[in-house]
Amino acid sequence: MKKTGYFTHPDCHLHEMGAGHPECPERLSAIHEQLLHSGLARTLDAREAPQAQLSDLTLAHTPRYIARLQALADGLRSKPAGAGATHAWLDPDTSLNVHTWNAALRAAGAALAATDAVMAGDMDNAFCAVRPPGHHAGKNEGMGFCFFNSVALAARHALERHGLRRVAIVDFDVHHGNGTEDIIDGDQRILMLGFYQHPFYPEGGARSNASNLLNLPVPAHTRGGAVRELVMQHWLPRLHAYRPEMVFISAGFDAHRDDELGQLDLLEDDYHWLTGQIRSVADQYAQGRIVSCLEGGYDLGALARSVEAHLRALSDA
């Protein structure tokens, strides 16, 4: 059985973007309750996520963007209680409240700490149960519920601070990870593989044909069997040819059949299978080293069951 880390923090529950917003604190509560009920929580190495430092954020984001977000957060914190707006908006779907800055630093810090722990051999792999998500956050822009790109930060951290030469990012969220694409476009040290519903958010889908990117559009109502075929035909040959020394996962579960924010038809078994394929590659080339970070997934029941399936595949539980 693999030793799987589980990184989270109470600060990640405090970020919220208004009543009825799908990217809500209850997402983490649903995951936690599912893992407790199933007994899987007892098998995980649970750790509190530290805060990322500002110097960490520059691995993926421009100082100008970081300063802009910090200024928005400082503006909210400086307001007296009950005075004026409670949120600052990046786009119609994405806003900060007074707790967002700390939550976003915890989400990024979880990915960095998980990378350190896996590289040190303290655990075989790790899952970061954090929010806000990150894969729509680009070098100089936050959008799509995302502020800092945790997976891109962790991948660069592994390369630049742990001396790895080749890492892979696998993104199975229903939405294209446009922020990750923006950050790593042309960086041959990082291979990004993804599938995503298209046409869908973000508009236009993948925008780069750089040789280190393989992001595959699929139509609405694509089922798990078709996704598995794409993985076998396209992802796995690229991963075996690339031989990554560590694998990072943008683990979005909104391609599930029950999730109303997407129109793909994956099930829990598909996430278990996908994770198993990724783990097989990591076992072969990367000493099993995987760090996975929560992205989307908005039907609470489907999300919780899918994360359990993902963690069972990571841990052999």
Confidence (pLDDT) at 241: 98
Q: By residue range, what is the domain housing residue 187? A: 4-12+22-315
Q: In the chain, where does DSSP find H-type helix?
A: 11-14, 26-38, 54-57, 63-77, 100-120, 150-162, 178-184, 224-230, 236-242, 268-285, 300-315
Q: For residue 101, tell me if it sits in a domain.
A: yes
- Count helices and strands in the chain by DSSP H and E runs: 11, 10
Domain CATH for 270: 3.40.800.20
Q: For residue 62, tell me if it sits in a domain.
A: yes
Q: In angstroms, how far is CA 66 from the centroid of its own chain?
A: 19
Contacts of 113 (CB under 8 A, 6+ apart): 7, 47, 49, 50
Cα separation, 297 vs 94, in Å, equals: 16
Q: For residue 267, tell me if it sits in a domain.
A: yes
Q: For residue 108, tell me if it sits in a domain.
A: yes
pLDDT tens-place string over residues 124-159:
999 999 999 999 999 999 999 999 999 999 999 999
Confidence (pLDDT) at 12: 98
Residues listed for the chain? 317
Confidence (pLDDT) at 82: 65
Confidence (pLDDT) at 85: 74
Q: Are 52 and 105 in contact (CB under 8 A)?
A: yes
Q: Are 59 and 153 in contact (CB under 8 A)?
A: yes
Cα separation, 46 vs 209, in Å, equals: 39
Confidence (pLDDT) at 83: 64
Contacts of 63 (CB under 8 A, 6+ apart): none
| DSSP structure class, residue 25 | T
Confidence (pLDDT) at 256: 98
The catalytic residues are: 136
Give the closest residue to 177 by CA, choosing from 143, 210, 209, 154.
143
Half-sphere exposure of residue 25, counting CA atoms within 13 Å on the CB side? 15
Half-sphere exposure of residue 252, counting CA atoms within 13 Å on the CB side? 34
pLDDT tens-place string over residues 231-273:
999 999 999 999 999 999 999 999 999 999 999 999 999 999 9
Give the closest residue to 146 by CA, choosing from 62, 55, 51, 69.
69
The structural domain count of the chain equals 1
Q: Are 247 and 290 in contact (CB under 8 A)?
A: yes
Q: For residue 17, tell me if it sits in a domain.
A: no
Alpha-carbon torsion angle 222, 228, 231, 234, nearest 10: -70
Q: For residue 211, tell me if it sits in a domain.
A: yes
Q: List the end-to-end C-alpha distance of the chain, in Å, as a whole number.
A: 7
Low-confidence ranges of the chain (pLDDT < 70): 82-84
